[in-house]
Amino acid sequence: MGLRRLIAIVLCLCVTATAETLDSAVEKKQRAEWCEALGKRLKSVDARLCQSLPFRAGTLRSVQGRPLMALEVAPAAGKNAARPVRILLAGGLHGDELTSISIVFCWLAFLETPAARAHHWYIAPLVNPDGLFARPSRRTNSNGVDLNRNFPTPDWADKAQDYWQRRTQKDPRRFPGKTAMSEPETRWLTEAIEAFKPDVIVSVHAPYGILDYDGASPPPPRRLGLLNLKPLGVYPGSLGNYGGVFKDIPVITIELANAGTMPRKEEQHQMWNDMLDWIDARLVQPRHTGKSPGAQRN
């Protein structure tokens, strides 16, 4: 190997290492600022726990330039008897539903349990940061768009505007946007769904105190904690419609009972346990054994 080539390789390795160090320093700072701001705004968010987890910003930012952060947790290595289920958990699509963000952070404390580590998680606790940090917090993003009416469902072009005008009387809290996926926050979550390919989406809202479900199969959970199943139907541009009807990914929508007051600790835990029990019962599939169907029957 010539000297010049050797120098070029060493230089390249150094530059790469420096870029990685810089990258992680920038990421660390961004994460620290994001967690600190959240801890100040939401008293039930533990900023230190948040900072200890490898949340990463996507390439897209909110309309006001805030990072859109998510945490991916791969299943624990080991001889899992079953294929890990891919779970996308999202909170804070509506910025004024404070508990929908806080509870996702509270559930992060359970991620290290064996039941949770058997699965693969993609967790986006705050899809609409501009809505949360507005004073007062607001449902829509800073373009005044209801993100949960902005997903690219096949009926969007025909029905979203009409629904907003006729059925909601142009309610500004439910404006679906000028076009489907016009908002960076919606694009970010849609791209995450495309890339992560979840087996189930869990979307947290408040304050209707029920459990909603969209998807042809499997059968829905009948209750999570104190929340009973009460399907609300779908709307043009909603995540339930996009995931559950269009993409054929079951969508559990948790509507907590109060947007400002958290459920009690035991209730938070019960909802989490019920959710994992349903996932284990309905979505876990054995790994492919390599045997022929005939051999399996014997």
**Shortest Å distance, C-beta 261 to Zn ion:** 16
149 counts as binding Zn ion under rule CB under 5 A: no
If the CB atoms of residues 138 and 205 are measured against Zn ion, the closer one turns out to be 205
CB atoms within 10 A of CB 280: 14
Q: Encoding tokens for residue 36?
A: 């600190």
94 counts as binding Zn ion under rule CB under 5 A: yes
If the CB atoms of residues 66 and 205 are measured against Zn ion, the closer one turns out to be 205
Q: What is d(CA 228, CA 66) in angstroms, rounded to the nearest whole number?
A: 35
CB atoms within 10 A of CB 41: 16
If the CB atoms of residues 73 and 224 are measured against Zn ion, the closer one turns out to be 224
Stretch near Zn ion under the rule CB under 5 A, chosen from 9-17, 200-208, 219-227, 284-292: 200-208
**Shortest Å distance, C-beta 40 to Zn ion:** 23
What does the H/E/C string look like for 68-90?
Answer: EEEEEECCCCCCCCEECCEEEEE
205 counts as binding Zn ion under rule CB under 5 A: yes
**Shortest Å distance, C-beta 192 to Zn ion:** 18
DSSP state of 169: S
Q: Residue 227's beta-bridge partner residues?
A: 224
Stretch near Zn ion under the rule CB under 5 A, chosen from 22-30, 95-103, 196-204, 269-277: 95-103
If the CB atoms of residues 73 and 160 are measured against Zn ion, the closer one turns out to be 160
The DSSP result for 239-277, as a single string, is: HIIIIIIIS---EEEEE-S-SSSPPPHHHHHHHHHHHHH
**Shortest Å distance, C-beta 205 to Zn ion:** 3
Q: Which residue is nearest to Zn ion (CB)?
A: 205
CB atoms within 10 A of CB 175: 20
Binding stretches for Zn ion (CB under 5 A): 94, 97, 205
